[in-house]
Structure 1
Amino acid sequence: MDFSQLKKEIIEYSKTIGIDKIGFTTASTFDELRNRLIRQQELQYQSGFEEKDIEKRVNPALLMDSPRSIIAIALAYPSKMNERVTSKKGERRGIFSRASWGEDYHLILRDRLKKLEAYIIERVPEAKCKSMVDTGELVDRAVAERAGIGWSGKNCSIITPEFGSYVYLGEMITTIPFEPDQPIEDQCGTCNKCLEACPTGALVQGGQINAQKCIAFLTQTKGFIEEQYREKIGNRVYGCDSCQTACPENKGKNFHFHEEMEPDPEIVKPLLKPMLQISNREFKEKFGPLAGSWRGKKPIQRNAIIALAHFKDETAVDELIEVMNKDSRAVIRGTAAWALGKIGGETAKAVLENARETESDEEVLVEIERGLAFFK
């Protein structure tokens, strides 16, 4: 078979199914990446969400018998809302990061990869394919970089010349020996705007991130967030875009190619106070389709409480008191106690002093004391 011609046909077909960019690379091991991942592990910079076996992350041969190529795909997502809602006094809003706008991108990319795989198998029935998006073993960014989708920016995102870093990535390992594409030369140069913009200093240096300090990671955790990071989180209820919005390569980049990615402003920029008492069913119905809902409502509610404290929203005091006194989850009670202290006022002080006498959970008691410390 003429694999060069097949590659051309796959590229043309990919455009018809909503793939914005496609690249090809070998299935050889990612040796340089292995060293970086080992170093990240040694420094304890990993998030813990990754595949734990580093060899599986760098060696496609451990994921499929006789792999010959990897096909990388990218889909551009919007950076701005066509319709906007504003946050105002008494009606403060949180924000989901752009990568969580619209339908869960895992589903969107899996759909495109499934169609691409079916096309390939139709042409080469004996071919084997294995696709993955984000949660797979391989490192999406490393595959995309080697396949010429874009270069790996100092913000640890793949930056494409066409769409900036506002792209979702996926890949497919295959037994077909496609000619590899050339990687794109790094174009960040001396620019350090992403490092300077990172609210927590999680970008240690260009191309290296301490995930444990990254707001995108912190908003997905389920426990208490360290107090030093709470003000940095601001009104983010999921994810963070600071290193992307600061990037000059993203200036003016805003693509609305895919209807499934269009954000509903009331969902991706939600009112904060209603989120405090939202039921599991309501949460699933409203936020379930978002990628940002994958950890459930608890982290989102905790982040909403931190956001209300960030705004010092006095109109939320009654709701926060209700949460602190009645919620069964220590993380939510404790964060509400801290938020009441941050917002301030005699009512908040009085209920915190009372809670100090009635609360039995040690972690919550620590947060109550932190809340009361604002009054000293």
Structure 2
Amino acid sequence: MDCPRDWPEPIVRVQSLSDTCTDTIPKRYIKPPEARPSLGSTTIEANIPLIDLGGIHDDNLRETLLKDVSEACREWGFFQVVNHGVSPELMDRAREVWREFFHQPMEVKQAYANLPKTYEGYGSRLGVEKGAILDWSDYYYLHYLPCNLRDFNKWPALPNKLREVITEYSAEVVRLGGILLKLFSINLGLKEEFLQNAFGGDDIGACLRVNFYPKCPQPDMTLGLSPHSDPGGMTFLLPDQHVPGLQVRRGDGWITVKPAPHAFIVNIGDQLQVMSNAIYKSVEHRVIVSAQERVSLAYFYNPKSDLLIQPVTELVTPDRPALYPAMTFDEYRLYIRTKGPLGKSQLGKC
């Protein structure tokens, strides 16, 4: 399967539509009735688990922390972490420099327009299916690791502090990812460094997608991001602190996540579901929009792209045979890039 070199239709920036469409949205963004947030689904009044990482070095609290993380990975696939060691000021700066970018003149942003082969740069659609119903969002995608993919010329030059802030922020998120992989390994009965080594050791992939959801005149008719599970290892989401939007599937309904102050929302990706032989779950989620704009930062902590990913031998038993074939992350995400967000179907169709 090859990824097309260009988009199937001319790209329209959703932010521009938001500025001009004051009452209605174009048909290309109207979801079928069963997929609209107001119909065909149940909203559940609950929230994902909140985990305090402050006890990681306290022997009296560590056992409880490990238990909470294990339950969240097995039963929810999503959780929030506080006392994670990333400074609140840095988190705020990271979100605000990107808000400033999306309010730059269009010609500044267009200089970074992306293509489907890597998605790197300024984008407005996922998937390359001609005539697809699109999501109400723009985004910016960039690579941080491996170092050979990190090209600062592809990172916005404006606002002036963006490259500096995002470099610092990226290093902190990668550090946090290493800490959580250790906890996951211990909970699976593996050596502490097992999953980090299975991801490629220091040679992992780390990339950022900044999501910009412009204000929408018909939020009940569309979605900011269609239902999907994340194809990578795990995701760290820095949400908008003022406008909720992330919804997580729970049974037959959806939970609207209520962000805790300066927490990261963490979710298990498909690669960890494969490695854990489905002991850990990657869970479907989506994004709703509203009459207010939102900015969120999704950081993807991924295995090295050319490593074979398969169920860990120690987690395969006669009672629980291997559920997934071996596949590189490159092969897996090419499917996703071609098809766009399709719920959880990718785990069964690659």
| Superposition TM-score tier, normalisation by shorter sequence | under 0.3
Give the structure-1-normalised TM-score.
Answer: 0.22
Q: TM-score with structure 2 length normalisation?
A: 0.23
Q: More relative contact order in 1 or in 2 (CA 8 Å, sep 6+)?
A: 2
Which structure shows the higher strand fraction?
2
